[in-house]
Amino acid sequence: MTNTRGRTICFIDNSYIFRGSYKHQWRVDFRKLVELLSGQDPIWQTYFFASEEDPPNSDQTNLYKYLKMALHFEVYLYPLRKRQMRCNACGNEWSSYSEKAAAIGLGATLVSLAYNNAFDTAVLVTGDSDFLEPIRTVKSLGKRIELAAWRDSIAQELEMEASTGVTYLDENRHALEREHSTSLEPTRSVKDDVSDNDRLSKITGDREMNHIKKD
């Protein structure tokens, strides 16, 4: 079969995966994710964009080391911005976490690599409308765009820009779900919790999760 993708690079928006995982109550195995998205055509490189607490916690650090050393991802980390919010009507207060910097980093890297002709196809794991204009720019340069996203949280206008059908994460749970204990987790610290998703949910609590957003 002819490889119609050409040189393919994958871009992962960790914040988007986290929010969907929290909602659907299962976690994505990143190795399985890249294998699924590769199909018969190899992905040359995977770029992973995430936010990091200050100071970083050990769970996050172990995850990022695992992705870089075991899976050979290019890991881009940005500060997780925390703001105290207050409802003027009821007086309730909560912490709001903004991951805007990571989104900007992903968009800028996508466009920069496209201008440098570093790929023919970009596979984006996101459904956020923030990436609409970067995607349109990349397509104007003659590049293909593929999307992988949660079916219930993908912007319609983004979905319409895909060069092929969207891969829906929730419809591939059987192929993507991370097991509690697998041989893919090389150290005890990573095995205990390879995902920063759990750590962040512990910090914010269920109620505060409603206020996590990109703004």
The tens-digit pLDDT sequence of the chain (215 residues) is 456 899 999 999 999 999 999 999 999 999 999 999 998 889 999 999 998 876 778 888 899 999 999 999 999 999 876 666 667 777 786 555 557 899 999 999 999 999 999 999 999 999 999 999 999 999 999 999 999 999 999 999 999 999 999 999 999 999 999 986 433 343 333 333 333 334 433 433 343 344 444 44
Residue 86, φ and ψ in degrees, nearest 5: -140, 135
**Element containing residue 33 per DSSP (H, E):** helix 30-38
186 near 31, Cβ under 8 Å? no
Task: Please give the domain boundaries of the chain with CATH numbers for all domains.
Answer: 8-209 (3.40.50.1010)
Can you point out the beta strands (E) in 23-127?
A: 45-52, 74-79, 81-86, 93-98, 121-125
- β-pairing, 93-98 vs 121-125, is unpaired
61 Cβ neighbours under 8 A, 6+ residues apart: none
Can you point out the beta strands (E) in the chain?
A: 8-13, 45-52, 74-79, 81-86, 93-98, 121-125, 144-149, 167-168
Q: How far apart are CA 1 and CA 145, in angstroms?
A: 20
